[in-house]
A and B are shown apart, each in its own frame.
Chain A
Amino acid sequence: MAIAQGEVILEVNDLRTYFYTRTSVVKAVDGISFNLRQGETLGIVGESGCGKTMTALSLLQLVPKPAGRIVGGEILLHGEDLVQKSEAEMRQVRGQKISMILQDPQTSLNPVFNIGNQLMESLALTHKEGRKNLLQRAVDSLRQVNVAAPERRLEDFPHQMSGGMKQRVVGAIAMSLEPDIIIADEPTTALDVIVQDRILRQIKEIQTDLNMSMIYITHDIAVVAEVTDRIGVMYAGKLVELGSTADVFERPIHPYTKALLSVFPSIRGEKRPLTTLGGEPPNLVDPPTGCRFHPRCPYATAICQQEEPPIVVRDGHWAACWNPVG
């Protein structure tokens, strides 16, 4: 996949989102920087609890309050800093500029309203039109995600639909406002593989049609390869490697990326035992000093424990590591 050449629409600089508990501070997102171009898909991968979802929620200013807070950095959408915006201003951004597809379609739809109602609700926020026009828009947006007989489906309640169908509806709702950026937070995790594939393709198609940018969050690195232009690898609240998908997959720099890639079997390549990574993600209350990956890193040296790793640029992408692999 070629790297999209559109203009940069989103720029995140040194974003820090901390959670304050009574006794400690959890640094869920700790100094993340990346940018996103028009029409581009950026994948963010990492283990559970590494801060992927918190990064996404920070973009929307929806970090769970009152414990969570964005303590530093800036999020520039078309040059405007979202961190500085008021709640009322953010409401204009959410849904219309940045939208999000959530993980679990089973709970993403309100069980007491039919889906036509839910589609039209978000449409009505931006389109001040009569019910008839909204209805038509709702039908169109369902058709866009390949829901069969959308007119009849509008009357259905969430419990009458399958998981895949629900996720398509959720996708339709998220994309019906034609946002500039759509954040997909593991949208296929709760679905089986066949349905996953179909939904991924549909999301991808619409994204390309409307020239939207997408941030795709997942722990499934295989999925990322299919849909993204670039990927960023997160570990313990930090971005450790960022580059074009092909580069990162073929020539990983960071030992963590390499480890992540090696835990997935390759269908075409030679057969090899799957390696696993020992240990577990660090506690973000008190993360390891120096490089946060050093306790689990097979290449770790003395310096990794003491100092933050430098940025290594190679093969068109970068990573933060003292001892780059490959």
Chain B
Amino acid sequence: MAIVALPKRGFIDSLPGGPAVTQGLAWARRYPLLPGFVLLVVLVIPAIFANQIAPHDHRIGDLDLVKRPPAWIGDKIAEQTVVQKQDRRVARQGEITLSSATRRMKRGTATFLEGGGDGTVDVGDKLRVVIRQGGTWTYPLGTDKQGRDILSRIIHGSRVSLTVSVLAIALGGGLGVILGLLAAYKGGITDTLIMRLVDIKLAFPSILLALVLVAAWKPGLLTVIIVISVLLWARYARVVRGEAMAIMNRDFIDRAQVAGASNFRIMARHIFPNLMNTAVVLATLEVGHVIILESTLSFLGAGIPRPTPAWGVMVADGRELIVAAWWIFFFPCVAIVLSMNLLGDWLRDKLDPKLRNV
């Protein structure tokens, strides 16, 4: 699924206001690298300059402003009648208990509609109650249950996602490339051993393997990176082995042997540079996958430990408040999906359709 999935020409022109849209789409067609640019602006730059860009400290919350909704959402207001709280009877819709009404009145989030001539709240008075205060532009995407700015946390969270994906892919990819190259070059028993190891790895469900590994070690950034690279290497090894075998059939490898080059030299200087293309394409394809994996692990509590604002952790924290404060849960989800979509799918479509089903 491409982010630039453009409808056919002509269709849009038939809609009201169509020509302007067509113009915009023509522009999108002309600049196919635009999504990459957007990606850079929304993901990479904030990750690098998180401290400068994030409007608030992502660790310290404002306890007066917990669970504030995003800025564009206003106060939620209701008319409620004050009732006496009885045993085991909770206030129904449109009702408010006396004690709660008194407290709100003190705080100023309730005003009288009817009654209250004496200045105190009595049973039977009608009140205009601000059930939930609206957002402020101080916290554009709202705050979580500890009053921490969600936008700042997402910006800092992108650091985690990018660090993990870059390092895990470098580590796992590097390992996979080396093993694949060795398997192809040495052949025989080395090849068999490495490829059976790949099969074993691929036979395990990723998440299960990851959970087991994390459980065995101490959770943390380094562990997550190592675990994810353990999940990634097999695919590289398999693809690289095939590619390396094709390259080895070419005469320049024989020529290098004829010229007296050592095995290491042939692998490093003659085969490896020819594999770079494949490795880089595969690496870009994996970015989205790794972001999802990291978020999943963090969500399951096996990833980045709190209080580091990993997106997966934020989703997990927001999950319990999904009805009362959906934004805590929603925006990190958007960040995950968007970044995976931008990075993973877009690059995959752009770079190499052949590798899609490897």
Contact = CB atoms under 8 A, between A and B. Distances in A.
Interface in A95-118: 95-96, 99-100, 102-104, 107-113
Contacts of A121: 259, 261, 269
Contacts of B254: 62, 100, 102, 108
Interface residues of A, number: 30
B277 to A, nearest CB: 9
Contacts of B261: 91, 121-122, 125
B188 A94 contact: no
Interface string B61-93: 000000000000000000000000000000000
Contact of B260 (A93, A108, A109): A93
Contact of B257 (A92, A94, A110, A113): A94
A174 B252 CA distance: 12
Contacts of B252: 107-110
B269 A94 contact: no
Interface in B239-278: 250-252, 254-262, 269-270, 273-274, 276
B255 A92 contact: no
Contacts of B269: 121
Contacts of B251: 102-104, 107-108
B270 A110 contact: yes
A60 B276 CA distance: 30
Interface in A175-194: 177
Given A66-B187, A66-B188, A95 B250 contact: no
B255 A108 contact: yes
Contacts, number: 69
Contact of A173 (B187, B188, B255, B276): B255
A92 B254 CA distance: 16
B258 A99 contact: yes
Interface string A45-67: 00000000000000010100110
B38 to A, nearest CB: 32
B183 to A, nearest CB: 14
A257 B188 CA distance: 40
B259 A95 contact: yes
A92 B261 CA distance: 9
Contact of B259 (A111, A113, A122): A122
Contacts of B262: 91
A100 B260 contact: no
A103 B258 CA distance: 13
A62 B260 CA distance: 10
B260 A113 contact: no
Contacts of A65: 187
A147 B303 CA distance: 61
Nearest to A96: B260
B273 A102 contact: no
Nearest to B276: A112
Nearest to B275: A112
Nearest to A88: B262
Contacts of A112: 273-274, 276
A34 to B, nearest CB: 20
A96 B259 CA distance: 7
Contact of A62 (B187, B258, B270, B276): B258
Contacts of B258: 60, 62, 94-95, 99-100, 102, 174
A142 interface: no
Given A60-B258, A173-B255, A107 B274 contact: no
A205 to B, nearest CB: 22
Contacts of B257: 60, 62, 94
Interface string B274-286: 1010000000000
A224 to B, nearest CB: 22
A170 interface: yes
A91 B255 contact: no
Counting from the closest, the 8 A-B pairs by CB-CB distance are A94-B260, A95-B260, A95-B259, A107-B250, A108-B251, A100-B258, A107-B251, A122-B259
Given A91-B262, A104-B251, 14 more contacts: A60-B258, A66-B187, A66-B188, A95-B258, A107-B252, A110-B256, A110-B273, A110-B274, A112-B276, A121-B269, A125-B259, A173-B255, A174-B255, A174-B258
8 contacts: A65-B187, A90-B260, A100-B258, A102-B255, A102-B258, A110-B274, A170-B255, A174-B259
